[in-house]
Amino acid sequence: MQARLVADQKIEDKNFTIILAIFTIIFAILIAATEPFLSAAWGAGKKPIQQGQNLKLVNNSPEETKKRSREMKQESTKYELPPLPYDYNELEPYYDQETLRLHHDKHHAAYVKELNLTEEKLAEARNTGDYALIRHLERTLAFNGSGHILHSIFWTNMAPNPEGRLRTPSGALADQITRDFGSFEAFKKQFSAAAISVEGSGWTILGWMPEFGKLLVLEVENHQNQTLWGIKPLLVVDVWEHAYYLRYQNRRAEWIENWWYLVNWDDVAKRFEQARR
């Protein structure tokens, strides 16, 4: 009896093994047959490929991969010309539309273009190890980078003035101007005098100096000389000849006098608030 039970058990075990093997084979066949569908379904739920991702990287040579990586890096650091916050004719009669169009579309655009070119050449120098032009490139980086920053601030520092009334600051900015310059009129006189006296091409800047905890006026030559490290520009006026010569010729003082009518004190106050954070 005992022997028969053992024999039956062995038969059951054998049957079970055979059934298990059959199921395993069927399961494997099913998996193989449905794999493409499963992959597609799984892929559909994955995060979509980001713009700029290049699947060819997988099969590229190391040189091609490095080149593509450089290109992607450069794409991510492209500087762009910001649009004007008003139409070309909206700053009339203080700023003529012909000058404004040339100034923004040609001059500022050229600084942006040169800044991007400089970044590309610096990336190339890092990749090749050839720094023969490093002095020139660092100079063009400072020149065009500063030109891009200052022009970007300059456009938003101005706003149309159809009423033709001279506008003045208010609130915390007005209080700080009074504290640091004695009065708004004293500040305006210093700022105008500095703008008129810039030697050659340059800017005058009202900036917040966090380290000193006060407002300062700077007289900048070109875009990058005679600055103060760490200052936050709040209000800037362009006194390069390209900024005013078509309308004002050599009368820079007249350009400055009329430019005051365009100052957007709301923008200056907003920059002051951000700079003090």
For Fe ion, the closer CB: 173 or 195:
195
How deeply is 82 buried, as exposed, middle or buried, from its count of CB atoms within 10 A (0-12, 13-18, 19+)? Answer: middle
Out of 84, 243, 268, 269, point to the residue binding Fe ion (CB under 5 A).
243
Which span (7-15, 87-95, 236-244, 251-259) binds Fe ion, by CB under 5 A? 236-244
Angle between the N-to-C axes of helices 265-275 and 171-181, in degrees from 0 to 180, rounded to the nearest 10: 80
Q: Which long-range contacts (CB under 8 A, 24 or more apart) does 247-251 make?
A: 247/95, 247/96, 247/98, 247/99
| Footprint (CB under 5 A) of Fe ion, residues 96-115 | none
Least separation in angstroms between CB 112 and Fe ion: 12
For Fe ion, the closer CB: 88 or 240:
240
How deeply is 97 buried, as exposed, middle or buried, from its count of CB atoms within 10 A (0-12, 13-18, 19+)? Answer: middle
Which span (133-141, 200-208, 235-243, 259-267) binds Fe ion, by CB under 5 A? 235-243
> Which structure tokens are listed for 65?
């991969």
Q: What is the CA radius of gyration of the chain?
A: 34
For Fe ion, the closer CB: 89 or 152:
152
Three-class SS state of 220? strand
Which span (89-97, 203-211, 238-246, 255-263) binds Fe ion, by CB under 5 A? 238-246
Q: Which residue is nearest to Fe ion (CB)?
A: 238
Out of 240, 248, 255, 259, point to the residue binding Fe ion (CB under 5 A).
240
Out of 238, 239, 263, 269, point to the residue binding Fe ion (CB under 5 A).
238
For Fe ion, the closer CB: 79 or 240:
240
Tell me if 219 contacts Fe ion by CB under 5 A. Answer: no
For Fe ion, the closer CB: 180 or 238:
238
Is residue 188 within a helix (H) or strand (E), and if so which, with residue range?
helix 184-197
For Fe ion, the closer CB: 102 or 125:
102
For Fe ion, the closer CB: 111 or 265:
111
Rounded to 5°, the CA angle 141-145-235 comes to 150
Report the 10 Å Cβ neighbour count for 58: 7
Least separation in angstroms between CB 131 and Fe ion: 31
Least separation in angstroms between CB 137 and Fe ion: 22
Alpha helices, H only, 157-183: 171-181
Binding site for Fe ion (CB under 5 A): 238, 240, 243
